[in-house]
Structures are given as C-alpha cells and as structure tokens.
Amino acid sequence: KNKLNTQYLGREILYLEEVDSTNNVAKDYGKQKGNHGLLVIAEKQNAGKGRLGRSWNSPKGSGIWMSFVLKADIEPQNSPMLTLITALAVNGAIRKITGLETAIKWPNDVILNGKKTCGILTEMTAAADRQECIIIGIGINVSQEEFPEELKEKATSLWLEGKRPVSREELISEILNQFELYYKKFCLTESMEVLKEEYDAQLIHLRKQVRIVENNMEYEGIALGIDEGGALLVQVEQTNQGITTTFVKTVLSGEISVRGL
Ligand code: BT5
C-alpha cells in the first residue's frame, strides 16, 4: 500500500541496489538537472557518510538509506535548519508508524532508548543554473539484529527496540509526507519560528544537563531549546574568583553530548 501523498517529494525515485553514498548520487543528479524532489534509495551503501568525514554503517537491506534533492529558493545560510525539519519529519513518522518513543537529539539524530537509530546529513551544491541545490540524506536503522563492535554501545534499530517488523515503504512515505508539510511551514519565514515549540517538545535534552563540545572547547549547561535560527540555547553557569554568573550561550554547530546517555 502506497500512502505517499506529496506534491513533489519522491514523485521521481531512483532505486539502486548498491552505491557509495546516496547523497553523492543525489548530488550528481541535482547538479546537472536539479530534479526537485528526486529521491535516491539504496539497499546498501559502501561508503555511507556521516558529518565531518565520519562514516555511516549501511548494511544491505536492513535500513533506509536515502537522499532527496531540493531545488531550494531559500538563503544558503538557512539550509542547516533543514536538518532540524528533517529530524521533525523522521521523528514524527517513526512514532506514528511504530508507536516507539523516539526523540530528537539536536541537531541531526533520532534517538531510541538512549541509542542512535537515525542520522541526517544535509549538503549543498550549486546546480548548473547556479540555483542552490540541497541534498538531504537520511539513514535509519530498521531491521538490524546486531551492530559492529564499535557501534554496539551507541546504535540501535527499530527491530531491536520494538521487536516488530516495520515496512520501509510505509515509513518512507510517511517521512516524505511529513517533510513536505514542515518544509512548507518553514518556508513561510525561513526560520524555526512557527516550528520551534513543536521541535522543543521532541528534544531529548530539553531542560536537562548537556555537555557541549565545540572546536576543542567543552562546557556544560541546561538545554533551553532552540532559537528561531535553529541554534541550541544553553544556560551556562560560570564561576570566576568566587563570583557565579549565568548566561545563555547560543550553540551553532558542534558536537553535543547529553549526560547519562
Ligand atoms: C550522521 O552523521 O548521523 C549522518 C548520517 C547520514 C546517513 C545517511 S544514509 C543516506 C545518506 N547517504 C549518506 O552517505 N549519508 C546519508 P554523524 O552525526 O557524524 O554521525 C556519524 C557517527 O554515527 C559515526 O561516527 C558512528 O559513530 C555512528 N554511526 C555510524 N553508523 C551508524 C548507524 N548505522 N547507526 C547509528 N550510528 C552510526
């Protein structure tokens, strides 16, 4: 059963058995023709990518490894917010289809029982007509029974947590449906203004102690939620010569770790 009811997203699908990275394939297509809404799906990735040169484990048939192309009219500097929009769509779709209680870990993870079940990678490239082309990559662990040694502690799959089979087709359709709706809302202001509240409600670390690692700097504070630009606001206490001051720090990028996770 196909429940896809999008206008443009996933109306054109490129399905491949094996690729290096669906983001790379989508980028090549986007560059040449800028196919707005083109979806690339693979059964297996040999060189799945994470952020900052990290790799993404994508074994055959056990996950959703997909990327789509947006021929975007938005300002390039606003594109990192699309990662947040995508997290909203993925989190909402997984909850709806599986009933599992996933949560968002800012900026690009979906977490289930303390472990990562989805990662998102947003990239940008200039298309032949120079219009900005955005690639959104989504990796979701669906049916893995186990993970390689180095991921055991931090990764999980929908099967491992729910013990029920999940239809990838159904989940993909729901993600695309939800993304299109969120994207439409986002484009009204090109900010998280209208989605901020909904996003914060799904944050795993809202009002909790978090540790931020940013360019070799580390600090701790209480996560207050995101601002309109998609940055994470963290309330930090600092004691200097016996005087404690509290201020709100705006975290733009960086690695965020949540205590106790
Ligand atoms: C991400 O990076 O989480 C972005 C992952 C995006 C993957 C999709 S799959 C389709 C599309 N095509 C691509 O080539 N990529 C996208 P980051 O936050 O940097 O997290 C990467 C880290 O997550 C790794 O260094 C590992 O520690 C961990 N990891 C790797 N594979 C994983 C998996 N399958 N499940 C959970 N964690 C994983």
Q: Say if residue 42 is in the same domain as residue 117.
A: yes
- Asked, for residue 169, whether it belongs to a domain, the answer is yes
Atom of ligand 1 nearest to the CA of 47: 14
Which residue carries 């560059």 as its tokens?
31
Helix %, strand %, coil % for the chain, to 5?
25, 35, 40
Q: Say if residue 118 is in the same domain as residue 52.
A: yes
Q: Say if residue 115 is in the same domain as residue 215.
A: no
The predicted structure's pLDDT at residue 160: 97
Atom of ligand 1 nearest to the CA of 22: 12
The predicted structure's pLDDT at residue 260: 55
pLDDT digits (tens, 9 = 90+) for 57-68: 999 999 999 999
Q: Say if residue 164 is in the same domain as residue 219.
A: no
Measured in angstroms, how far is the CA atom of residue 245 from the centroid of ligand 1? 37
Strand partners, 112: 115
The pTM for the full model equals: 0.96
Element (H, E) at 209: strand 209-214
Structure letter (DSSP) for residue 150? G
How many residues can be counted in the chain? Answer: 261
The predicted structure's pLDDT at residue 227: 96
Task: Check: CB of residue 64 under 8 Å from CB of residue 171.
Answer: yes
Give me the CATH number covering residue 225.
Answer: 2.30.30.100
Q: Under 8 Å CB-to-CB from 200, ≥6 apart: which residues?
A: 206, 225, 226
Atom of ligand 1 nearest to the CA of 23: 12
Extract the residue ranges of the chain whose pLDDT is less than 70. Answer: 1-2, 128, 259-261
| CA angle, residues 185, 5, 66, in degrees to nearest 5 | 80
Choose one of 39, 43, 56, 149 to mutate for the ligand 1 pocket test, by most ligand atoms within 8 angstroms of C-beta: 56
Q: Say if residue 243 is in the same domain as residue 145.
A: no
- Return the residue whose CA atom lies nearest to atom 16 of ligand 1: 137
The predicted structure's pLDDT at residue 193: 95
Backbone angles phi and psi of 87, in degrees to 5 = -60, -40
Nearest to 68 by CA among 119, 121, 109: 121
- Asked, for residue 4, whether it belongs to a domain, the answer is no
The predicted structure's pLDDT at residue 2: 59
Q: Give the range of the structural domain holding residue 127, as residue numbers without chain letter.
A: 13-201
Q: Say if residue 112 is in the same domain as residue 228.
A: no
